[in-house]
Amino acid sequence: MSGNSYYSRKLHSLLGVIPLGLFFIEHALTNYSAFEGGKEKFLDSVHGLHDLPLIFFLEMFIIWLPILFHGVYGLYLAFTSNLNVGRFNYGRNWAFALQRITGVITFIFVIWHVWQTRIQVALGNTTYDELGEHMHSIVTQPGYFTLYFIAVLAAVFHFSNGLWAFLVSWGITIGPRAQRVSSRICMGIFVIVSVLFLLSLFAFRGDEFASASAAIGTLQLG
């Protein structure tokens, strides 16, 4: 049983970086194209991804199945781990606790975000050509914008801190000095990726993405 747990944790850690971490960075860059180049560049980025050959199978085996395993097993770890923050109130234990908490937030957010975007495309309520306007109609609602803002920061922290833990658990950063250096690098990644996502949120709120938003049905925050 302990052996199975060891390999499950290793797989969970690996999937969080490869392929999910790489997809996370790609998603940040795709969204950032809305800020950098506006609607036209964002559409080019979206179509560039969805025009890839065998896109269904690529997404199934590189995104959806890894997310399912990483998310479900992560929930198991979150609700069975001893956080210890009450006993050991120092940085690494708090980072460990936040890793579990942000993992739960991120998994719920991913399900919700997929429902609001990909599922709505599948249901015919919007199209990939209208995805920018659809995001505009979501993030211009104050409640949704606040939730996206918080969830994005939680997801980026979970990725960045998870990357630090991956480097330690896989024996890549050995010793206190290497781990301090990797901690600074991962903090830099947290700042950069957070900025990419947050700038994209503000870009989607802009007038350039508002033209067709009135014609797109959205889920209203109750």
Q: Are 136 and 104 in contact (CB under 8 A)?
A: no
Angle at 122 between CA 117 and CA 127, to 5 degrees: 65
User: What local confidence, expressed as pLDDT, does residue 181 receive?
Assistant: 96
User: What local confidence, expressed as pLDDT, does residue 85 receive?
Assistant: 53
Q: Could you give the domains of the chain?
A: 2-215 (1.20.1300.10)
Q: Are 159 and 21 in contact (CB under 8 A)?
A: yes
- pLDDT tier at 96 (50, 70, 90 boundaries)? confident
User: What local confidence, expressed as pLDDT, does residue 222 receive?
Assistant: 41
User: What local confidence, expressed as pLDDT, does residue 93 receive?
Assistant: 81
**What's CA 29's distance to the chain center, in Å?**
12
Residue type, 58: L
Residue 47 has pLDDT above 50, yes or no: yes
Residue 219 has pLDDT above 50, yes or no: no
Q: How far apart are the C-alpha atoms of 9 and 25, rounded to whole Å?
A: 22
Residue 75 has pLDDT above 50, yes or no: yes
Q: Which two tokens stand for residue 171?
A: 């024996």
User: What local confidence, expressed as pLDDT, does residue 65 receive?
Assistant: 96
More confident residue, 5 or 200: 200
User: What local confidence, expressed as pLDDT, does residue 220 receive?
Assistant: 47
pTM equals 0.89
Cα-based distances in Å from 99 to 5, 102, 122, 129 = 19, 5, 32, 35
Residue 212 has pLDDT above 70, yes or no: no
Q: What residue has token string 């036209």? A: 40
Residue 218 has pLDDT above 70, yes or no: no
Query: For 123-142, how does the pLDDT look when each residue is reduced to its tens digit (9 = 90+)?
Result: 999 999 999 999 999 999 99
